[in-house]
Amino acid sequence: MSEKLVKQMDVFFNPRSIAIVGASRKVNKAGHVIFKNFVINKQRNVFKGELYPVNPHEEQILGFKCYPSINKIPGEVDLAVIVIPARHVPEVMREAAEKHVKVIVIITAGFGEIGNHALEKEIAQIAKKAGMRVLGPNCLGVYDSGTGIDMLFLPETKILATGEEVVATPRPLPGKLAIVTQSGAFGASALDYLTGRQMGVSKFVSFGNKCDVNEAEMLYYLLHDKKTKVILLYVEEISNGREFIRIAKEVTKVKPIVALKSGRTEAGARAAASHTGAIAGSDQIYNAAFARAGVIRAKNMEEFFDQGKALAMQPPAEGKNIAVVTDAGGPGIMAVDECEINGLTVKKFSDELVGKFEQLKKDGKIPKFATNLNPVDLTGSARSEMFEIAVKILFEAPEVNGIIVLGLHHTPELQGDFVDKVASVAHSYTKPIVACDIGETEMALYVRSRFEKFGIPAYGSPEDAAKAMYALVEYGDYLKKNSCFEQYVEMFLKEKE
């Protein structure tokens, strides 16, 4: 891997000119949706490159002069997006090669995934011979809000039977998370999920059958992408395990990777095989590979997003001993259980630390009946200042490596400003903190979104908060073992400023 690769990959996200082969005037066609995405982004001056529709049957599309083939385009073409039936793809590839197109995205399906291996091999060979790099086939391509690249053929809105227009596949705001996905459908879901949860995306890549560009190369590129802080990787199989481990190892010293690898069970692997035609391989092998490469493996979809969010917002933990501070006994226990089940510890506080809380009780600063052995349970009488002072003591305690704050807003005396108070304390420390408030109505949504405004990831259940903390601990452990903990934290803090 080299600088050359980074430059090659960068063309997918930052082309000076782009041809849409299969651009169409027919609104239901993928070639229409994709071309229109670019037209709009060009009009808004987000996409700044040249744009060429290619379609032999049209003169003009949406006001743009249309070309019968890539060859006939007057200027240079950096990137070609192909959305025409599979059987015509090789011909277009040859024309692209003549035109010295640099990179190609084949959206079209109907290759290896349905048994057409020969056709897929053919296009790979044409590309290789010409030195062109290919993403796909059978993929959603690339989305980059920064440069206006939007190859998603999934319509942003749909019309319901009631006549209402609703958001169907939203494009998320710019942010720190890169999405790299083998499944286009899951990728679209991820965009929908992240948008709704107010999480931003730096880059989105759906690589489909990966006849050429694979996940390892994309990871290497994202390592060098300044906008990406955390990489979320969805895969069903990894074809070149050794290369993947080697590259991922390099990446994870600088940026966390969270992986969701499906096909964990035999039946799941069988389903994966019939989906992509690939052999999933033993799940234990993947566990071992991810562990070696410092990749955090999420067990399910929610963990995947939750852990990505934690790593984007908080520094890693220096150790695995967690303190829980709560105003709700039951949910406190639930958080402790989930920490311990995931291999973290929630140890009884040292006498010294307990002493500090006892002093607070004597001073009337926390309730006399608060428990303080870990969890610290401020009880239903908790007020904002109590959370503030308790969290401060835990940040100062060397025995505590991470803090879970369960601020259930329902208690009568707790006001919304407890979030601001906790966040203002947290601001001065590099120890990770995650928050939870339970509920799905106004105040709960306010509390969680306000925590996140201050950079503290917030979750809707104690267990989700604990699993997010687990990711911060696991990543910290990996960084320490590879002697790059301090370096990472330093960079993390610098970028946060």
Question: Does 402 help bind a copy of itself (rule: CB under 8 A)?
Answer: no
Among the listed residues 170, 200, 241, 319, the single contact to a copy of itself using CB under 8 A: 170
Nearest distance from C-beta of residue 278 to a copy of itself, angstroms: 11
DSSP 66: P
Task: Name the residue type at position 326.
Answer: T
Among the listed residues 14, 69, 71, 345, the single contact to a copy of itself using CB under 8 A: 345
Calpha distance 341→207 (Å, rounded): 35
Within 448-487, the residues that bind a copy of itself by CB under 8 A are 460-464
Nearest distance from C-beta of residue 33 to a copy of itself, angstroms: 7
Calpha distance 92→123 (Å, rounded): 10
Among the listed residues 133, 374, 405, 485, the single contact to a copy of itself using CB under 8 A: 374
Nearest distance from C-beta of residue 185 to a copy of itself, angstroms: 3
Q: Which residues pair with 64 in a beta bridge?
A: 61
Among the listed residues 5, 46, 333, 484, the single contact to a copy of itself using CB under 8 A: 333
Nearest distance from C-beta of residue 9 to a copy of itself, angstroms: 23
Could you tell me which stretch among 26-34, 89-97, 289-297, 385-393 binds a copy of itself (CB under 8 A)?
26-34
Among the listed residues 443, 481, 493, 495, the single contact to a copy of itself using CB under 8 A: 443
SS3 362: helix
Question: Does 266 help bind a copy of itself (rule: CB under 8 A)?
Answer: yes
Q: Torsion angle of alpha carbons 138, 142, 143, 147, nearest 10°?
A: -160
The β-bridge relationship of strands 141-144 and 371-372 is: unpaired
The residue among 59 and 440 lying less far from a copy of itself, judged by its C-beta, is: 440
Chain centre distance of CA 467 = 16
Among the listed residues 48, 87, 100, 158, the single contact to a copy of itself using CB under 8 A: 158
Nearest distance from C-beta of residue 487 to a copy of itself, angstroms: 33
Where is 264: in which H helix or E strand?
none
Within 42-71, the residues that bind a copy of itself by CB under 8 A are none
The β-bridge relationship of strands 376-377 and 371-372 is: antiparallel
The residue among 132 and 323 lying less far from a copy of itself, judged by its C-beta, is: 323
Calpha distance 276→91 (Å, rounded): 24
Could you tell me which stretch among 38-46, 66-74, 188-196, 306-314 binds a copy of itself (CB under 8 A)?
188-196
Among the listed residues 337, 356, 455, 489, the single contact to a copy of itself using CB under 8 A: 337
Instruction: Classify burial at 156, counting beta carbons within 10 Å of its beta carbon; exposed 0-12, middle 13-18, buried 19 or more.
Output: middle
The residue among 35 and 153 lying less far from a copy of itself, judged by its C-beta, is: 153
Among the listed residues 14, 69, 71, 189, the single contact to a copy of itself using CB under 8 A: 189
DSSP 349: P
Contact 181, 139 (CB under 8 A): no
Question: Does 28 help bind a copy of itself (rule: CB under 8 A)?
Answer: yes
Nearest distance from C-beta of residue 231 to a copy of itself, angstroms: 17
Question: Does 228 help bind a copy of itself (rule: CB under 8 A)?
Answer: no
Calpha distance 208→84 (Å, rounded): 16
Calpha distance 414→193 (Å, rounded): 30
* Tokens coding 123: 């296009």
Question: Does 341 help bind a copy of itself (rule: CB under 8 A)?
Answer: yes
User: Which residue has 């939750």 as its token pair?
Assistant: 306
Residue 490: how many other CB atoms lie within 10 Å: 12
Question: Does 237 help bind a copy of itself (rule: CB under 8 A)?
Answer: no
Could you tell me which stretch among 44-52, 218-226, 322-330, 480-488 binds a copy of itself (CB under 8 A)?
322-330
Question: Does 265 help bind a copy of itself (rule: CB under 8 A)?
Answer: yes
Question: Which of 124, 259, 87, 243 lies closest to 182 in space, CA to CA?
Answer: 259
Nearest distance from C-beta of residue 72 to a copy of itself, angstroms: 29
Calpha distance 224→296 (Å, rounded): 20
* Tokens coding 487: 């370096």
User: Which x/- pattern over 291-310 shows residues binding a copy of itself (rule: CB under 8 A)?
Assistant: ---------xxx--------
What b-and-e string marks burial along 416-431, b requiring 16 or more CB atoms within 10 Å of the CB?
eebbebbbebbeeebb
Question: Does 155 help bind a copy of itself (rule: CB under 8 A)?
Answer: yes
The residue among 118 and 160 lying less far from a copy of itself, judged by its C-beta, is: 160
The residue among 103 and 194 lying less far from a copy of itself, judged by its C-beta, is: 194
Calpha distance 279→272 (Å, rounded): 8
Half-sphere exposure of 409 toward its Cβ, with a 13 Å CA cutoff? 22
SS3 126: helix
Could you tell me which stretch among 38-46, 98-106, 258-266, 349-357 binds a copy of itself (CB under 8 A)?
258-266
SS3 content of the chain, % helix, strand, coil (to 5): 45, 20, 40
Q: Which residues pair with 201 in a beta bridge?
A: 177
Among the listed residues 90, 200, 241, 268, the single contact to a copy of itself using CB under 8 A: 268
Where is 69: in which H helix or E strand?
none
User: Which x/- pattern over 82-121 shows residues binding a copy of itself (rule: CB under 8 A)?
Assistant: ---------------------------xx--xx-------
Size of the residue set binding a copy of itself (CB under 8 A):
99
Among the listed residues 348, 362, 453, 496, the single contact to a copy of itself using CB under 8 A: 348
Nearest distance from C-beta of residue 83 to a copy of itself, angstroms: 12
Question: Does 347 help bind a copy of itself (rule: CB under 8 A)?
Answer: yes
